[in-house]
């Protein structure tokens, strides 16, 4: 029985990652697959499997999860906070459920194919809209945005993971599969740029700079990265002096709807921080939402915009701020310690460092744990950073 379960288990995990982007359409399926994995896990896991995990980072992550549960329990907020806590536990759980799997290639292929499926689905919908509507502006049209399978931000997240996996899978010498991985990189990069996913574009730029620091010639690493940083800074500077139709100067970020939203939210985050002072135990999930809504009522002057923010009850759009407001300084300190330790453990290797860069970047502009899809892909990033040798190609494989 154990042999049969062990042979089926990886395919269930693969199917889970294939269905994640379609969560809005088949919401029950990922939950069923997770349930099957949880039930099967005790029957196939061995003591040796736990050795795959990096001990200190995993311990810090476990301490963080335990701390926020205890914090909510002691503060009598567990029922309200658990809606969010369970998504954080989901990401951590994906790491534990992964350790019996010996072949990481299947999981990586699942992410690649799910990314291509999302792109294909979105492109087909966009072509349908173009053929049935007039005056469509690609990338900015509300109709085009709604045609996408998932939010642009998470589409960018999946695309970047797919690009990193493809880069990781390309052999240094000729291999017939190299052309497919290269094609996948090109498709995902083009899709990110065509959809004007500015956050994803910026993160791709950061990864390109990061790669220069891992170049073969050490003496070229820093000068190359410095030149790229200067060039990108000049580009950003030029964008911050654009003019609108009335000739009024508006920055690149001010003219971007999503960034304007975050600017308003972060102003309220700053306001609440100053109002509350140092938060030892946190406010809790519900109180954080209420204080943000109260701030929107007071701080936003435009009636229409204020009504939208109050109705949608926008969260902090910064995972670090969200952790701090919800569970206090201790939770934030543990999460940051985890990030720092993971960085130092993996700092000599580009790919796990790149995955960590992606995670931190998205945490700076989004509450990734507020969406189930975000929790799933954070789980994949944790796998890439906590079980490094499983997801990295060996040098011998690069020679094939």
Q: Over its length of 400 residues, how does the chain's per-residue pLDDT go in tens digits?
A: 778 888 899 999 999 999 988 877 777 888 899 999 999 999 999 888 888 887 889 999 999 999 999 999 999 999 999 999 999 999 999 999 999 988 778 888 999 999 999 888 888 887 777 777 655 555 455 666 666 778 888 999 999 999 999 998 887 777 888 899 999 999 999 988 877 578 898 899 889 888 888 877 766 667 776 776 776 666 555 544 544 444 444 444 444 556 678 889 999 999 999 998 899 889 999 999 999 999 999 988 888 889 999 999 999 999 999 999 999 999 999 999 999 999 998 888 899 999 999 999 999 999 999 999 999 999 999 998 888 655 454 444 444 4
pLDDT given at position 236: 56
Q: Give the gyration radius of the chain's Cα atoms.
A: 22
How many angstroms separate the CA atoms of 92 and 133, rounded? Answer: 44
1-56 residue pLDDT tens: 778 888 899 999 999 999 988 877 777 888 899 999 999 999 999 888 888 887 88
> What local confidence, expressed as pLDDT, does residue 171 receive?
79
The pLDDT of residue 378 = 95
Full-model pTM: 0.87
Using alpha carbons, select from 167, 165, 157 the residue that is nearest to residue 192: 157
Can you state the percent helix, strand and coil of the chain, rounding each to 5?
A: 75, 0, 20
Between CA 276 and CA 271 the distance in angstroms is 9
- What's the pLDDT score for residue 271? 93
Task: Let me know: does 290 contact 48? Beta carbons within 8 Å.
Answer: no
pLDDT of residue 68: 96
Cβ burial 342-358 (10 Å sphere, 16+ → b, else e): bbebbeeebbbbbbbbb
pLDDT tens digits along 77-98: 999 999 999 999 999 999 999 9
Query: Where do the structural domains in the chain lie, given as residue ranges?
Result: 2-244+317-399
Q: Which H or E run contains 30?
A: helix 28-44
């Amino acid at each position: 029985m154990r042999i049969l379960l062990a042979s089926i288990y990886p395919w269930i995990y693969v199917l889970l990652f294939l269905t994640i982007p379609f969560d809005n359409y088949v919401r029950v399926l990922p939950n069923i697959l997770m349930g099957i994995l949880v039930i099967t896990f005790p029957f196939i896991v061995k003591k040796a499997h736990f050795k795959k995990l990096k001990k200190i980072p995993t311990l810090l992550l476990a301490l963080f999860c335990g701390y926020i549960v205890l914090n909510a329990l002691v503060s009598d907020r567990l029922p309200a906070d658990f809606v969010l806590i369970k998504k954080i536990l989901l990401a951590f759980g994906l790491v534990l459920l992964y350790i019996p799997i010996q072949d990481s290639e299947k999981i990586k292929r699942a992410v690649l194919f799910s990314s291509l499926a999302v792109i294909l689905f979105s492109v087909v919908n966009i072509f349908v809209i173009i053929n049935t509507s007039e005056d469509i502006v690609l990338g900015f049209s509300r109709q085009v945005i709604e045609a996408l399978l998932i939010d642009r931000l998470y589409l960018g997240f999946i695309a970047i993971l797919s690009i990193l996996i493809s880069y990781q899978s390309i052999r240094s010498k000729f291999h017939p599969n190299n052309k497919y991985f290269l094609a996948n990189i090109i498709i995902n990069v083009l899709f990110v740029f065509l959809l004007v996913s500015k956050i994803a574009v910026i993160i791709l730029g950061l990864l390109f700079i990061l790669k220069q620091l891992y170049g073969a010639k050490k003496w070229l690493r820093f000068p190359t990265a410095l030149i790229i940083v200067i060039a990108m800074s000049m580009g950003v500077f030029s964008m911050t002096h654009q003019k609108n139709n009335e000739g009024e100067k508006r920055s690149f970020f001010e003219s971007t709807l999503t960034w304007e939203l975050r600017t308003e939210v972060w102003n309220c985050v700053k306001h609440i921080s100053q109002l509350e002072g140092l938060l030892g135990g946190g406010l809790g999930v519900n109180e954080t939402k209420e204080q943000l809504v109260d701030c929107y009522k007071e701080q936003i002057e435009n009636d229409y915009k204020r009504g939208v923010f109050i109705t949608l009850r926008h969260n902090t759009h910064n995972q670090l701020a969200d952790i701090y407001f919800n569970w206090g300084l201790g939770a934030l300190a543990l999460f940051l310690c985890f990030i720092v330790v993971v960085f130092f453990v993996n700092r000599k290797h580009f790919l796990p460092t790149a995955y960590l860069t992606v995670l931190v970047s998205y945490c700076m502009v989004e509450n990734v744990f507020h969406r189930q899809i975000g929790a799933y892909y954070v789980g994949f990033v944790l796998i890439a950073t906590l079980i490094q040798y499983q997801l990295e190609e060996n040098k011998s494989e690069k020679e094939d």
